[in-house]
Chains A and B, each alone.
Chain A
Amino acid sequence: MREEPGTIAQNSKAVEFSEDFDVVVIGGGNAALVAAMSARHYVKRVLVLERAPYEVRGGNTRHTRNIRCIHPSADAYNTGSYLYDELWDDLCRVGSGPSDERLAELTVCESESVPGWMSEHGIHWQAPLSGTLHLGRTNRFFLGGGKALLNTYYRTLSAMSIDVSYSSSVEGFVDEGDRITHLLVEVNGKRTKVGAKAVVCASGGFEANFDWLARYWGPSAYNYLIRGPIYNDGTVLSLLYDLGAARAGQERGFHAVAIDARSPRFDGGIATRIDAIPFSVVLNRHAERFYDEGEDLWPKRYAIWGTNIALQDGQIAYAIWDSKVVREFLPPMYGPTRSATLAGIANAVGLSAERLERTILEYNAAIVKGTPFDPTRLDGAHTSGLEPEKTNWALPIDQPPYYAIAMRPGITFTYMGVKIDGSARIQREDGSHFANVFAAGEMMSGNVLSSGYLAGFGLTIGSVWGRIAGREAARYVSN
């Protein structure tokens, strides 16, 4: 393709590409926008290159809803205090814990000033309500969720005279020693060369790239569903690796939950998740149970079920429940399969009726009687003699109609990214670092966590490191 410098008109506003920008930010989600605003406080010409078209701008941020930051006391939007030590403990209990302790500590410290910074840049908050109550102390909810936050930030960008170019995909870098001097950008099919004094990469992970996932997960990766947009295919991450960037985070590190098997392949977001598991039995395609459905309270366990299902044959599993528990969780968006008999359920979802009935009868028979069911706490209503046992909320499945839903792993994001230092500068394999290339958001989240997940912490990483990356990029340009 021919490289055309100059102006490309889109969304009725033209971005002038011919002159060098001080800071070019790659990406259009929270980390990218925070980096752009942060840089703009110090330098004049800042450009945001968003790969998605205007209508679906914002990457995974579209599906976010709250942010986890430390705060010394309760206020209108948090129900109580959440101090450094507690967040640090929470981080340590997630997956394999913090990857780079120094960077993780910095993230936690810096999180304290993030909500104030967000308010200054236009964000509105809401008090925790019924759907959000259990996170009301630790997490702060922005009004209307991620897309509302994005709309606000994009308006602020416009007020700060930051250029935004949509449908703009970075296809290559021109480097010179330890610096990137130009970006090769494809805008609506036309390739153009954009000069940059510093670059912030905040364009997410590679979860939407099935071939890349399959390198670590084998062909089963093609059965995964991706909860965010189709654009997170790791193009920029792979370009950085080509330039010698060092890796951070585990290859198989991702956040994945159980979602409805009928969900769209991309971008189903929050609405397709399945919350029935603690009150169900979950069978694989051989109609066998494979994991303790009642291991812990759902908010503490929902994030392991994506991987649980990913490890089953065909990457599919079936939650089965009966009419006793239908009011204990949100009905799935598409509605469950319903039948008067267990055989009817088996036929409807395509499992062996004989095996399913046997599994359910064995499960019913193994329930230790006498412990009252209590959905609000670990009630200890359990089975005995099964492999695996169900350790809480074990109620017999015997009251028709019966319900079932097929589930698949829904991948939220990947952790493997680029290694950075405390100023968000990207490190290289040979131990040196890039002088003018910085990273923020999911692309560097592997420096902080490498597996597991803590609700609302992705946005904390994006905001803290977006702010640092933008500031440091601008500082580099100013010097």
Chain B
Amino acid sequence: MSATDPAFRYRNDEPATALFTEAKRQLNVCNSCRFCEGYCAVYPALERRVELEQGDIIHLANLCHDCRACFYACMYAPPHEFGLNPPAILAEVRRDTYQSSLPLRLRQRDSARGSTPLRLSFSSALCCIAIVLTLISVNHGLAALFRRLDPVGSPYAFVSYEALIVVSLLIFGCALVVMTTGMIAYWKTTRGRMADLFHFGPLARAIRDGATLRYLRGGREGCYVKENHASSERRILHYLVSYGFLLCLLATISAGFEQDVLSAKPPFALLSVPVVSGVLGGIGLIIGSLGLYRLKRSQDTIATDGPMNLMDRSFLFALATLGVTGIATLVTRDSTIYGFVLAIHLAVVWSCFILAPFTKFAHFLYRLLALVQDNLERTEGTGAQ
């Protein structure tokens, strides 16, 4: 059999119970073998457990950073009859985690093909475009999209300050509520006690593990794209994306601070905090997400879950779009198409926040929780159950 044999792919048509049964079968073999314990946090965490419950499997899946070193080191991987493929089965479980905040009906309908997030993205993007266009046309009519309005380079020439704040906070607030609910549900399934989340030591170590992308080092050689091809490329690109994203957030917050506290109205000078951090962040976001997109496309499909891969790529596409449209608002702010570019950027930002709780956007939250759990267990020296 070859590496591209479709028989190696996972059976995505089965309900979640079958998914967990299969994950448990595979992880039981891993727990009897233990050769991979030097690679990452997942295998030592597995070894702390004797009998795997659903919550354990969810925890292990979200602790997995998908470096795939274990797959290429596995003598039980296909074509062996044990057919082990931890990166693929754990990715499938993670997909289940990310979508767990969706209403059940919506989730079941399309989750098998992974198309729920795609449909959602499409409809939310349409909604956001409609909202932006409505807000702009209320003041100036749609023709304003291609006209220079005073003050030149200020978003408030097109959308009123109040409307912008209200819509943004509304969307952001909803996303925050849904994500928090999701995180609480996740923690209850994987750990139980809410109070455990607030131990300073484990929490701090988890944040360090996350911020340094510790487990993207894989088995010291980095992440595997293909067999015999490991590198630190993925970790470096991921740094660009995460810290680029944080700089973009800083740009937004500092802009708010300048105008509301310092009463400095946009457009901001080229050497101001919002512009510099926005430009640097945007560039990091674009290079990082396009680089990761390219990696995702070139990687072996055997060690991935197809729909999760699609979700990953949609996410990276969205991030790149965020970066490109953000930079475009700066570049075009003195031109006649500024209104048009601004409308697109706003629609993209809002869309991303609407989608965040159900898609790969939320992965850093669940990974952080898994890292907290992992550091708690290391402190305790025993398993959760």
Contacts and interface: CB of A to CB of B under 8 A. Distances in A.
A, B: real partners: yes
Interface of A: 55-56, 62-63, 65, 124, 126-127, 129-132, 141, 143-148, 151, 154-155, 264, 267, 269-273, 326-327, 330-333, 335
Contacts of A267: 75, 80
A145 B35 contact: yes
A129 to B, nearest CB: 5
Contacts of A62: 75
A124 B219 contact: yes
Contacts of B219: 124, 143-144, 148
A264 B36 contact: no
A55 B1 contact: yes
Given A65-B35, A126-B38, A144-B36, A55 B76 contact: no
A124 B69 CA distance: 13
Interface in B62-86: 69-70, 72-76, 79-82
Nearest to A65: B35
Contacts of A124: 219-221
19 contacts: A62-B75, A63-B75, A126-B38, A130-B44, A130-B47, A132-B34, A144-B38, A144-B69, A144-B70, A146-B75, A147-B74, A151-B72, A151-B228, A271-B29, A271-B82, A330-B50, A331-B31, A333-B29, A333-B32
Nearest to A333: B32
A33 B117 CA distance: 48
Contacts of A335: 28
Contacts of B70: 144
A148 B32 contact: no
Contacts of B228: 151, 154-155
B39 interface: yes
A141 B38 contact: yes
A143 B220 contact: yes
Closest 8 CB pairs of A and B: A126-B38, A145-B35, A144-B73, A131-B34, A148-B73, A271-B32, A62-B75, A333-B32
Contact of B37 (A129, A326, A330): A129
A132 B220 CA distance: 19
Nearest to A147: B75
A221 to B, nearest CB: 22
Contacts of B76: 269, 271
A130 B220 CA distance: 19
B79 A151 contact: no
A376 B1 CA distance: 45
A363 B44 CA distance: 37
Given A127-B38, A129-B38, A267-B75, 19 more contacts: A55-B79, A124-B220, A126-B38, A129-B44, A130-B47, A131-B34, A132-B37, A143-B38, A144-B39, A144-B70, A147-B73, A148-B72, A269-B75, A271-B32, A271-B33, A330-B50, A331-B31, A331-B51, A335-B28
B196 interface: no
Nearest to B34: A131
A9 B36 CA distance: 34
Contacts of A154: 228
B35 A331 contact: no
A150 to B, nearest CB: 9
Nearest to B80: A267
Contacts of A331: 28, 31, 50-51
A145 B1 contact: no
B227 interface: yes
A396 B264 CA distance: 82
Contacts of A330: 31-32, 50
Nearest to B82: A271
A131 B47 contact: yes
A138 B167 CA distance: 66
Contacts of B75: 62-63, 145-147, 267, 269
A186 B80 CA distance: 24
Contacts of A264: 81
A273 B34 CA distance: 13
Contacts of B44: 129-130
Interface in B175-227: 219-221, 227
A331 B25 CA distance: 12
Given A145-B35, A270-B33, A151 B73 contact: yes
Nearest to B70: A144
A126 to B, nearest CB: 3
Contacts of A147: 72-75
A479 to B, nearest CB: 36
A333 B37 contact: no
A130 B76 CA distance: 21
Contacts of A132: 34, 37
B303 to A, nearest CB: 14
Contacts of B81: 264
B223 to A, nearest CB: 14
A127 B39 CA distance: 11
Nearest to B31: A330
A202 B347 CA distance: 65
A211 B354 CA distance: 67
B313 to A, nearest CB: 27
Nearest to A129: B37
Nearest to A269: B75
A148 B74 CA distance: 8
A272 B32 CA distance: 7
Interface string B78-96: 0111100000000000000
A145 B36 CA distance: 7
A151 B37 contact: no
Interface centre among B50, B69, B79, B80 (most CB of A within 10 A): B80
A143 B217 CA distance: 13
A149 B322 CA distance: 43
A223 B278 CA distance: 70
A132 B38 CA distance: 10
A57 B275 CA distance: 56
Nearest to A124: B220
B67 to A, nearest CB: 12
A460 B162 CA distance: 75
Nearest to A131: B34
Contacts of B35: 65, 144-146, 148, 270
A131 B34 CA distance: 7
Interface in B12-40: 28-29, 31-39
